[in-house]
Structure 1
Amino acid sequence: MCFNQYEVGQVCLVMFDNHIGIYDFEIYKEFQKQGFGNEFLKELLLTNNESDIGNIYIQTWNQNIIAKQLYSSNGFSVIGKYHYYMVTE
């Protein structure tokens, strides 16, 4: 994700059917709290409203309170939770 000449973050968008999945959405530390994450989401949602895109899904860690606040302020709501498993020896 770029703003002017700066790379301010990264995101992985996965398109399936007419839905979008947002994964690994990150604004780099030195650019946080400047509205870049909010602006990205607003532009994506605007694109959604102007096209035939279906649902937009986003994932984050439950402990990432700041991300959860950003997502809920842009209209996202929790629809499910993932469980992660690890093989131990």
Structure 2
Amino acid sequence: MLEMQIVELIVVTLIVKLIVMQWYPPIQRSLQGILCIVIGSGIGAYMNPTKEGVITAIIASGFAFYGGELIQAFKGVAKDAEEIDDIILSRIKK
């Protein structure tokens, strides 16, 4: 049940994103993101009015808007963590 709600929330947020991207006069990208996250959070709070429901809605709507950028950021953090791990292991072996 929760998985379906998350999928529905992501789809709604993506639709809102497409609408605000085509708005005239253009809306600043940061305001588009805030608008999508606020609308997604409101819908999520309506669907599941618990703390976990609102947090899940914020994460899902943020992912719907910034998906590609978030994935790249996580990959960058993972790469940096691997490099730090390699440095620590090389110093321990010495």
- What is the TM-score of this pair, normalised by structure 1? 0.33
- What is the TM-score of this pair, normalised by structure 2? 0.32
Higher strand share: 1
Q: Which one has the largest radius of gyration?
A: 2
Higher relative contact order (CA 8 A, sep 6+): 2
